[in-house]
Each structure stands twice: as C-alpha cells, then as structure tokens.
Amino acid sequence: MTTNPFDIDKGPESPELLAIAEKELRETPEIKAKGLAELRDLLKQNPDLTYSEEDEFLIIILRACHWYPESAIKMLRQIAEFRRDNWKILKDLMPEQEKIPFQEGGVVNVVTTKDHKNRRLLIVHNGKDWDPAVCSADSLFRIFYLIHIMAQLEKSTQICGCVCIYDFEGLGMKQIRAMSPGNVQRLLTFIQVAMPLRMKEIHFVKQPFIFKMVWSLMKPFVKEKLNKRMFFHGNNMKALHEFIPPENLPKNYGGTLPEINYSGKDWYPVCEDNHDFFVKYNTFGFKDKA
C-alpha cells in the first residue's frame, strides 16, 4: 500500500467497501456475474460501439448504474455520443496536452484525504484564483475530464462516489466572461449523462452577489436529479459541515485539517503514471467508419 498522498488506490476492494457496494449498488457475486455477462451481450448487439470488455472496465460502468445492464449500455452510448459531439476538444486527449494549465492554473485540486463517507473531494476554484488567460474554459473542462478518467481506476471512488466543491471566492467579470452558455452546457451534460462516476453532492461556497450571473447560465441545463444534489453555502461553512464534517475538510473551508498546501502540480505525476489507461480510453466510443 502506497504512502504517497497523491497516489490513487488501485488495490482490491476491502470487505467494508464490498459491504457498501452491496447495500447501495445491489452488488453481490450473483448480480455481478449476471450483469457482466448481460452487458457483454448488449455490447455485441451494439456493433457500432467499441469499448473494453475486460471485467475491470465493465465493472466501472455497472457500478455507476447500480448493476443494471440496460442502464449501463445506455450510459456507454451516451459516453460515445458525448465524445463524438465534443471531439474537437476530447479526441486523443492526453494529460501532457494540459500539463501547463494543470500544474500552473491553480484551478482544480483534489483533497488528499477522503471524507467521512470515503468519497473523493474535488475542489474547483472559479473565483479570483482562476485566470482564464492561463487556464481557458476549454482547458478547465479538459482537466476535469482527465481527472474523471483517472478517478475511475479507484475502487473506493467507483463505489462511494465523489463530491465537488466549487469555490467562487473573489469571482469577477473576468471569470464570468470566460464562461459561455455552451461551456456551461457541456460541463453539465457531461456530469449528468456521460460521467461514469457517482456525483453525490456539489457544494457552492464563498460565492459573491454576482454569482447570480453564473447561476443564470447554469440553471437551464440542470436536471432535477442533479439539482437535488446542489447546495449553496456562501461563507457559511457551518452549513457545509452539515454535509462534510470539519475533521474531513481543510482549514480553507472551516475544517480541522491543515490548510491546503498542494495543487495540480503535485497531482499531475499521477496522470503520467496512468498513461496507458488514458491511451486506452481514447479508443472508446463509436467505431471509426472505414
């Protein structure tokens, strides 16, 4: 087991994780075997799709769909459609293409510890810490997309899901001008229909009054299910603590953990370590027409 806080845990599921999977995802040995077999059959019935049929990959999709094969093949088609519709920024995407924004942009960060429900915490700085001249809206999405690919490899994240904290401290017109309806729609479409991970909660914090302009961009594209998982806290960290206890949050958000002193620069090497999976992921989606 690694002691590097920036590594992802690709080890086998613990008994505790398997118990959560059974309770929340219907995952039992019998349902697992049946789901894998049925999803492979469904892939054969969708010859225009190309995906790995290895257990490791199919389990990622089936866990995101509570082990319902019909839902899983629907998600695979949605992933393919999203990749096709956004091919200009996603085709052959590799971490090295976004290395400078990832390392220097200071926009996206992953908390090194997990929360009380064993969920990964992703922090996105959309306020003063985001300089669109260093990290464009397209780059920001591409970094988010790369992180989600990497997160799929972590068994605990497959099972327990993830939580996103959007920090809007110091939000100004420079950041708002960088957000277009198209960019916002792309992100929300991805989260809601083409991301094979369980997005459990999205928390908006430290948002100033002009955040209403951002929300007016987002609201038309938010579906009911995601809307119920969105929470707005402003500067009231105690409200955030009703969802994530202080002992699982850094000092930046009223927590008892040390203030964050790491960034994408520390996380980027993990992307490089998983180079082969990024290469494989780029082959997924619709088959190229001869």
pLDDT at 290 over 60: no
Q: What is the pLDDT of residue 2?
A: 52
Work out the angle at residue 48's Cα, subtended by the Cα atoms of residues 76 and 222, and round it to the nearest 5 degrees.
35
Angstrom distance (rounded) from CA 144 to CA 90: 12
- Helix (H) / strand (E) element for 199: namely strand 199-205
Q: What is the pLDDT of residue 221?
A: 97
pLDDT band at 3 (very low <50, low <70, confident <90, very high): confident
pLDDT at 1 over 80: no
pLDDT band at 100 (very low <50, low <70, confident <90, very high): very high
Q: Where does the chain have alpha helices with state H?
A: 15-25, 29-44, 55-64, 69-85, 87-90, 99-104, 137-151, 155-160, 173-178, 181-193, 211-218, 224-227, 237-241, 264-273, 275-281
Q: What is the mean pLDDT of residues 161-189?
A: 97
- Ordered domains of the chain (ranges, CATH): 15-90 (1.10.8), 95-273 (3.40.525.10)
pLDDT at 4 over 90: no
Q: What is the pLDDT of residue 104?
A: 92
Six-digit token string for 261: 């002193």
pLDDT band at 170 (very low <50, low <70, confident <90, very high): very high
pLDDT at 220 over 80: yes
pLDDT at 271 over 70: yes
Chain-wide mean pLDDT for the chain? 96
pLDDT at 232 over 70: yes
42-62 per-position pLDDT tens digit = 999 999 999 999 999 999 999
pLDDT at 289 over 80: no
Q: What is the pLDDT of residue 288?
A: 85
Q: What is the mean pLDDT of residues 125-147?
A: 96
pLDDT at 178 over 60: yes
In three state form, how does the secondary structure of 52-63 look? Answer: CCCHHHHHHHHH
Q: What is the pLDDT of residue 121?
A: 97
